[in-house]
Amino acid sequence: MPLFRKSRSLLLASAAAGIVVAAGVAVTGTAEAASTLGASAAQSGRYFGAAIAAGKLGDGTYTGILTREFNAVTPENEMKWDATEPSQGRFTFTNGDRILNQGLSNGSKVRGHALLWHAQQPGWAQSLSGSALRTAAINHVTQVATHYKGKIYAWDVVNEAFADGGSGGRRDSNLQRTGNDWIEAAFRAARAADPNAKLCYNDYNTDGVNAKSTGIYNMVRDFKSRGVPIDCVGFQSHLGTGIPGDYQANLQRFADLGVDVQITELDVAQGGNQAGVYASVTRACMAVSRCTGITVWGIRDSDSWRTGENPLLFDNSGNKKAAYTSVLNALNAGGTTPSSSTSAPPQSGGACGASVSLNSWNGGFVATVRVIAGSAPINGWTVTVTLPSGSAVTSAWSATNTGTTGTVSFRNVAYNGQLAAGGATEFGFQGTGAGPTATPACSAG
């Protein structure tokens, strides 16, 4: 199973570097610098991905770089609405599946992009409105997320729904005109279809604290308070020659709401200090424990949508650019672990341990649970959590729960059951009422 083979060896590499058990503690470096983007990101539990195109998978230079350097992929166009449902109710997944299989066979995470967006809609959807469009849109979310169920690490459920400029409000679109609740309806449908995918909102021009990013921040806070299932926010980061000074602070304020943050479409114009901007973005992600990974929007400059700007990490011939080296060095310099946990659970000779960190508000909570193997590798784990009376689990991610109240057990999903000695993984759940207070129990096997 190639999916496990690679992630397992990365965990072993991390354990050897002695960083995995340092949950939630700043990591100041690794014993041995890794020599590819994916491996160096994996040392702190992160991924480093690229947007890829199905039509280029026959290009040996392209796939050579892809399989060597990256441990996550995003389809640049192949999972969009126009590609997957060209006529209403007729779904075509051929090219999306090619991207998926390319990623999975290389042991990579696959980011799904994008279930609903005002652009790249098929013609039939563009001509719909009102309840007919709403019904079609939710059906689209359900069908596509169901097709890819269990295989997608994170979905961009909704893409680019906020307006540019100073309003901080929604962008006008046919989807928006179906009612302001279209975004939460999409997230609920996605969660129902694929409970194990992280569900993201993704947008651009949100790279610092500004009116647009604050509008999104307010939406995420509202979703969290009302139990709308959202797990992550994507920051596209199509950057010019500079980076906002509050880039990291902006990521952190979203993370503090209890969502992961991801850099989803990074590219930086060449001309200014391209290598420096790339390094700054990478360092910012490494400094935010809930920044789980970075994706660049293409591999070589010649693959970029930004024709003539040479915004990527490899030149037209596939050679590494200075920006590549600056990213690799920033990844190898280490950072926080992508965990909101506060401490490593005591192992005391047990096969595994678990610790929980909570983000609570009046009436609800999000719990992030870190599972750590003891001194031997484990193949499967179950974590048992006791909830106060009156509390209930409403959704879980990266684990499957049995029960929702009282004593609730969480079983690993397919991709996170195997842990190396000292290796760690995370899952989470959201609930109503108050969160658990006692340390969860972990059993292996």
Where do contacts with ligand G2I occur on this chain (CB under 6 A)?
76-77, 119-120, 159, 204, 236, 265, 305
| Strand 291-296, strand 47-52: pairing | parallel
Shortest reach from residue 281's CB to ligand G2I, in Å: 16
Comparison of 313 and 420: residue with beta carbon closer to ligand G2I: 313
Closest approach of Cβ 128 to ligand G2I, in Å?
A: 20
With beta carbons less than 8 A apart as the criterion, state whether 263 and 281 touch. yes
CA distances from 2 to 102, 305, 381, 411 (A): 11, 31, 21, 22
Q: Which of 338, 353, 371 is nearest to 26 (CA)?
A: 338
Residue 159: CB minimum distance to ligand G2I, A: 6
Nearer to ligand G2I, 58 or 390 (CB): 58
Shortest distance (Å) from residue 81 CB to ligand G2I: 11
Amino acid at 410: F
Helices 211-226 & 247-255, crossing angle to 10 degrees? 10
User: 118 or 411: whose CB is closer to ligand G2I?
Assistant: 118
In this complex, which beta carbon is closest to ligand G2I, that of residue 156 or of residue 426? 156
Least distance from ligand G2I to the Cβ atom of residue 155, Å: 13
- The four Cα atoms 245, 248, 252, 253 give a dihedral, to 10 degrees, of 20
Q: Are 27 and 44 in contact (CB under 8 A)?
A: yes
Decide if 76 is catalytic.
no
Catalytic entry in 78, 265, 309, 426: 265
Supply the minimum distance, in Å, between the C-beta of residue 94 and ligand G2I.
15
CB of 66 to ligand G2I, least distance (A): 16
387 vs 440: CA distance, rounded Å: 10
| Nearest in space to 266 (alpha carbons), one of 305, 284, 239 | 239
How far apart are alpha carbons 128 and 156 in whole angstroms?
Answer: 22
Do the beta carbons of residue 227 and residue 430 sit within 8 Å? yes
Q: Which residue is nearest to ligand G2I (CB)?
A: 305
If the CB atoms of residues 160 and 426 are measured against ligand G2I, the closer one turns out to be 160
CB-CB neighbours of 79 under 10 Å: 27
Report whether 45 contacts 15 (CB < 8 A): no
Which is nearer to ligand G2I, 171 or 411 (by Cβ)?
A: 171
Token readout for 179 is 């009612």
DSSP tag of 41: H
Burial class of residue 346 in the structure, from the number of CB atoms within 10 Å of its CB (0-12 exposed, 13-18 middle, 19+ buried): exposed
Residue placing its CB nearer to ligand G2I in the complex, 256 or 309: 309
For residue 305, which of 318, 317, 296 has the smallest C-alpha distance? Answer: 296
Residues 6+ apart with CB under 8 A from 388: 433, 434, 436, 437
Supply the minimum distance, in Å, between the C-beta of residue 236 and ligand G2I.
5
240 φ, ψ to 5°? -85, -130
Amino acid letter, residue 226: R
> Which of 58, 349 has the CB closer to ligand G2I?
58
In a 3-state reduction of DSSP, which class is residue 201? strand
> Annotated active-site positions, please?
265
